[in-house]
Structure 1
């Protein structure tokens, strides 16, 4: 990922927060068959390993897990993002020398992908992922709500993923390269938009 110095995120806790908040990641592997990419929810265990470990699962029928990786596997996490119109810049009124851009947050996690199919490990991953996404619901569903034999059959149709993180790259592009008046204009413009745009507005630095 291309990261100019002004946009580089070096705070590991902030990168972990972006990863936790992303409901769906993209798993990318370079193989002899070409690039393979699978969208899937991933669970971060930050205390495991040197930089944290990612867990998830893929359909057993998905060829992604069978192809040997030729390099590191990459997990891409996308944070909040929003289009930025030049109309919001004070510079537009002053010189007109402005163009559109996009503000966004992204984290790339690299490491060697490990796949497994032991039923107890798969059940643990599925249970943790379920608790993560169901926990805040008023009537959360639990894996134990389904018949045990049904869950066992479902587990036979997936393979687990364990990805120890060896390298993290974070990018927070929030108009840091613009003058203060331009940043203020972008924040005000986004604050009048939809919930995602309002979220991005709150991430733009004022100084």
Structure 2
């Protein structure tokens, strides 16, 4: 990943992407070319030397059963947003400004492990559901559904785990702008209702 020094993601930013992204594109190189699937995941830092991204996919999806050449890749994406040059204080000073795009992303590489058994996928979907349901007013639990129904659903999926070997990450969040321009970006993002992107720029400013 091309990453200028001022856009290099901090360890804290990488950790936030791993824990909070929710879903990522799994990309694998196979003898027949590239395959990709967007998958919900959870991050388990206790696996291997660098942690793992744990997910699942439909059993009918050929990606899990197709041999992988080399490393597998999961692409994580944080909040992203168009940045208008009209938000910059420097526009009024000299006018030498152009639009850009702010974003945070991580490319997570690793070894793909398939869990084609009932126990691992069953534990995984409970963890995944509990992770997202924790923010609900009345959290739903897998155990609320009929046991036979859940058993049938589990037969239709396979567990997929990316045991991480390395991470390349970038946080392009207006770090190359003046303090006045950064304040303008934060205010501009809030004005269009993008609180998540504004918060990302604030965190980068304060780090």
TM surpasses 0.5: yes
State the Cα distance separating 1:16 from its structure 2 match.
Answer: 2.0
Q: How many residues align?
A: 206
2:99 counterpart residue number: 100
2:64 counterpart residue number: 65
Q: TM-score, normalising length from structure 1?
A: 0.92
1:46 counterpart residue number: 45
Once the two structures are superposed, the pairs formed by residues 1-207 of structure 1 within 5 Å of their partners are 1-11=1-11, 13-194=12-193, 195-205=195-205
State the Cα distance separating 1:197 from its structure 2 match.
Answer: 4.1
SS of alignment partner, residue 190 of structure 1: helix
Distance 1:196 1:161 in 2: 29
SS of alignment partner, residue 16 of structure 1: helix
Distance 2:167 2:32 in 1: 26
Render the CA deviation track for 1:88-127: whole Å, top value 9, x for unaligned. 2233223222110011111111101111211111111111
Moved more, 156-165 or 191-200: 191-200
Render the CA deviation track for 1:44-94: whole Å, top value 9, x for unaligned. 011221111111100000011122111211111111222111112233223
**Contact preservation (8 Å) 2:77, 2:105:** yes
**Contact preservation (8 Å) 1:192, 1:198:** no
Distance 1:188 1:45 in 2: 35
Q: TM-score, normalising length from structure 2?
A: 0.92
Show structure 1 runs of 5+ residues with no match.
none
SS of alignment partner, residue 55 of structure 1: strand
Distance 2:71 2:49 in 1: 16
Distance 1:165 1:121 in 2: 18
* RMSD value, Cα: 1.7
Runs of 4+ in 1 over 6 A off after TM superposition: none
State the Cα distance separating 1:202 from its structure 2 match.
Answer: 2.5
State the Cα distance separating 1:201 from its structure 2 match.
Answer: 4.4
Show structure 2 runs of 5+ residues with no match.
none
SS of alignment partner, residue 48 of structure 2: coil
**Contact preservation (8 Å) 2:174, 2:201:** no
Distance 1:164 1:46 in 2: 10
**Contact preservation (8 Å) 2:185, 2:198:** no
